[in-house]
Structures are given as structure tokens and as C-alpha cells.
Amino acid sequence: MKILYIDIDSLRPDHLGAYGYHRNTSPNIDSIAERGVRFNNYYASDAPCAPSRTALFASQFGIHNGLVNHGGLQADVRRIGKDRPFNYHHTEYQAWVDTLRFKGHHTAIISPFAGRHAAWHILQGFLEVHDTGKHAGETAGDVSKEALRWIKERGTEKEDWFLYLNFWDPHTPYRTPTDYGNPFKDDPAPEWLTEEIIAKQRETFGTMSARDLPGGSNWPGLPKEIASREDFKAWIDGYDTAIRHVDDHVGKILEALEEQGILDETIIVISADHGENQGELNIYGDHQTADHITSRIPCIVAGPGIKEGHVDNDLHYQVDFGPTFVELVGGKTSKRWDGQSFLPALTDGESAGRPYLVVSQQAWSCQRGVRFDNWMLIRTYHDGFKDFPDWMLFDIENDPHETTNLFEERPDIAAKGMRLLDEWVAEQMKKSDSPTDPMWVVIQEGGPFHTRGDIALDNYLAKLRKQGRHQAADKLESRHKQA
């Protein structure tokens, strides 16, 4: 069995044609979805980048593996301690990629991620490691060049393999080569973000909000602020063009597999590490929350033995992927993994989901969100200097862009979500090897990593006041500084 896992950084599913997007961003990815299974409610348990990929490869929630931040005490996985074995082979500490390896799969990764985040632990089980060398400054061509070389040299040499590819283009700043042009210059931007919403956003504050984008000379081609629908279109064109550029290179990889005569025997997976807020909660082009938009990611699987043309609406985590594919190759799962196999959904279209999900964010803000029924409840523990209330509740079926907080209007639904969140934390802490919830360590050491340094509170307050935004500065200061 051959398995190709394509991880497209910051790719949100609702910007793909297969998930109903109005722009033609993803014809090659859509073709994969047509012949496989598309998961509609697939979420990263922990965001953003390093927490998400650590959770994926460990099949453990951040509350268990300890890596929930991008710096500081909780930016490394927890030590095993006195029970650490000589090696992890055939022990409960074995990663699922390593399990694939010992079930006869040649395992390879093409990605700069381990070096970019000093996340060397994700490499456990990979026999080949190819760093594309640009520290996530890669464009799709840099990645596909290595992938095509690998497929031509190794794709037919090994009977069974697992190849993981990492594309970066949809991560800000959108770095599509300028000569690629803008395929969406005549296509309207998504309609949900109105001039009225933009005007309200500009009255508030927050990193990567409508008036606080890096923009300008740092990010050529992108607006410095979102002041109008025209600015939003320029911004979203950059994101969608990056997706289309990656999709073109996915097409080249599919062609290479076909040329080598192995396309029909390769399972192809399309997924991401997290989504990307594009105006939702007044965040543009970043992944700073534990909400529906940042946490929901695509999952498309097609190939031999996979049910064709099936759409799965159950709730799943990305940590469920490893146990699923270990079961598919006949391996044994570990009791330390939090993931649960959804193999019946892949092979037979049967229900294999979870009753609810809890997603977490501690690198840009400290939040936990509960996805249940048609709802997303979000609790904010540290706002990351954004204008968030302590609680938010959204009807994501009717309001997928999270424009209306219903926490006060629907106390019955809010109470259910609060109960589920409390139950989940209690259950995870009972199973934890540590008595400490890593989120509270993050808060006590100074808050999310990305709101320290240049975006520290005093610096941001000074910036707001220099811009004449005294009301916003006073509100933020009153929230974070004692009288």
C-alpha cells in the first residue's frame, strides 16, 4: 500500500470547490474528492502550527503531550521521565508513523517544518527526511520539485510507502510568484464580509485585525489595512491565488504518479494543520483562535479500498488519522494515543465519529472551543490583546463566519457547551501523566508566545494611542492592568 499525505498549511476547507467554494481554486483537489471520501467536520485538536502537527504525529491532545505554545515552557513535548525505554519500538511510546514503518512501509517526509519550529519530535518513524531549506519560505514549486524527484526515484522502487509533503503557500504572506498572476481578478470576494461589518471591526482592536495588518512593504501586494470590500478582495485574492498555485502542483504530482503507473495503487490524503481566519472574529490571514474557522481543516482521502464519492458529516479530530491508518495496514494502536480510528467511514461509509470535540489555542490567545451539534462555544482565558468577551457562542450552520455571538440569547445551549468543556478537561486531566494543565502554565508565564516581545501589551497600547485610538487602548488596558 502506498500513501501520499499532502499537508497544505493554513488551508481552510470552505475555500475549496469540493466544499462548495464559488471560486475555482482547486480543480485537482476536487477531482480527488470526487473519487474518495470528504470529511465535512474534521478539526485540529490544537492550533496553530506546532501544536497541531505535534498532536497529529503523536496522536495526542496538547493537554497530554504538553506542546501547546510556540515558545516558552510549553513549546516542547513533555519528557517521559523514569519510564523512558531504550527505544520506542513496540512500546506504548511508539509513534504511528513508526508503526507504519515496522509494518513494512518506507516512510519519508518532505518539509522544513521540524527545523522551522525546532519540532524534531515529529520526525519519529521517518526513514527519510528532506528539508526543502527555505524555513517555510518555500513556494509550491520548491516542494513539488522534491516530491516529483522522490516519486520518480523511489515511488516504484518500494512496494509500500508513506510520503508526507508540506506545502506553505496559503500561509501569510502569500508568496505565489508574481508572474503567476491573479486568476481571480474578475471573481467577487465572499459576500458575507460587508462594509458594515468592516466598519465595526475598525472600531475595535487586535493583532491581525482590520487596522492592524503587517501589510505594506513587509508584505508586497497586500493592503496595509482592511478599510473596504475592495481591500478585502485584494487580501482574499492573495490567499485564493496561493491555494490555486498549490493545486496546480498537486496536479503535477498526480501526473507523476500516473506516469509511474502507481496512481491507482496510491491512497492520497489532502489536509492541513489549521484553517485561516479571513475576517472572522476580526482576524485576517492568521490562526489565532480556537474557533470554527481556525480549527476546522479539510480531510479528503481517495484511493484503493476507500469508498468512492462519500461525504462524512461526523465529528473527527486530526489526531484520529494515525490510528485509522495503523488499523488500515493491520497494526496495533497504542493506549497512549488519544486518537480513535474512523476506518469504517473510509472503507464503508459508516458512521465512526465523536459526540463532540474540544479544540484549543494557546500561541496567539488562550482559548478552548467546544464543537457540538450545530454549535461552537468558545471560552477565552487570555484574549491575546484582541477584543474578545469571555464567552462566545455561534450557530455555525446558519452563521459559519461567526458574526453573531448568541451566548446571552441562548443560555440553554451555552450551558450544555460549558458542561461539555468542563467534562472534557476533567476527563483529560484524569488520564494525564502530569497534574498540570499546560494552558495555565502558558498564562502564568506571561500569556501566549506571540503576544510577547514586539506585540507585548505596553507596546501595543502605545501603538493604539499613537494612532489616536485612545478608547480602544483604554479598554484593553483596563482589562489587563490592575488599578
Q: Which is it for the CA torsion 32, 376, 325, 75, positive or negative?
A: positive
pLDDT in tens, 234-286: 999 999 999 999 999 999 999 999 999 999 999 999 999 999 999 999 999 99
Q: Take residue 431 and report the three cell numbers written for it.
A: 488520564
- Report percent pLDDT > 90 for the chain: 95
Q: Take residue 62 and report the three cell numbers written for it.
A: 496538547
pLDDT in tens, 32-52: 999 999 999 999 999 999 999
Quick one: average pLDDT of 82-99?
95
Q: How many CB atoms lie within 10 A of CB 341?
A: 19
pLDDT in tens, 62-74: 999 999 999 999 9
Cα(423)–Cα(415) distance, integer angstroms:
12
Quick one: average pLDDT of 331-355?
97
On whether the CB atoms of residues 47 and 311 are closer than 8 A, the answer is no
Radius of gyration of the chain (CA): 22
Cβ neighbors of 168 (< 8 A, separation 6 or more) are 9, 136, 137, 138, 139, 143, 175
> What are the beta bridge partners of residue 426?
none
SS3 for 371-423 is: EECCEEEEEEEECCCCCCCCEEEEECCCCCCCCCCCCCCCHHHHHHHHHHHHH
* 483 has pLDDT over 60: no
Nearest to 146 by CA among 116, 177, 118, 111: 111
Residue 356, phi then psi, degrees to nearest 5 = -160, 165
The amino acid present at 446, given as its one-letter code, is G
b/e code 215-226 from CB counts within 10 Å (16+ = b)? beeebebbbebb
Cα(273)–Cα(367) distance, integer angstroms:
17
pLDDT of 455: 77
Cβ neighbors of 193 (< 8 A, separation 6 or more) are 229, 232, 278, 279, 401
Cα(353)–Cα(37) distance, integer angstroms:
14
pLDDT of 220: 81
E strands along 263-356, which residues?
266-271, 277-278, 284-286, 299-302, 310-317
For residue 248, what is the enclosing H or E element? helix 229-259
pLDDT of 219: 82
Quick one: average pLDDT of 353-372?
98
Q: Take residue 45 and report the three cell numbers written for it.
A: 485538536
Quick one: average pLDDT of 164-180?
95
On whether the CB atoms of residues 146 and 110 are closer than 8 A, the answer is yes
pLDDT in tens, 182-206: 999 999 999 999 999 999 999 999 9
pLDDT of 310: 98
Quick one: average pLDDT of 434-454?
93
What ranges do the domains of the chain cover? 2-355
* 216 has pLDDT over 70: no
Choose which CATH entry (3.20.20.80, 3.30.70.100, 3.40.109.10, 3.40.720.10) describes domain 2-355: 3.40.720.10
**Mean confidence (pLDDT) of the chain:** 96
Q: Which residue is listed with cell 478585502?
A: 232
The amino acid present at 317, given as its one-letter code, is Y
* 453 has pLDDT over 60: yes
Cα(324)–Cα(2) distance, integer angstroms:
15
pLDDT of 101: 97
Helices (H) and strands (E) in the chain, counts: 15, 15
Choose between 382 and 456: higher pLDDT: 382
pLDDT in tens, 112-158: 999 999 999 999 999 999 999 999 999 999 999 999 999 999 999 98
Cα(46)–Cα(314) distance, integer angstroms:
19
Q: Is 455 helix (H, G, I), strand (E, B) or coil?
A: helix
Long-range CB pairs of 69-74 (<8 Å, 24+ gap) are 69/362, 69/363, 69/438, 69/442, 69/448, 69/449, 70/117, 70/363, 70/449, 70/450, 71/449, 71/452, 72/442, 72/445, 72/446, 72/449, 73/441, 73/442, 73/445, 74/362, 74/438, 74/441, 74/442
Quick one: average pLDDT of 163-187?
95
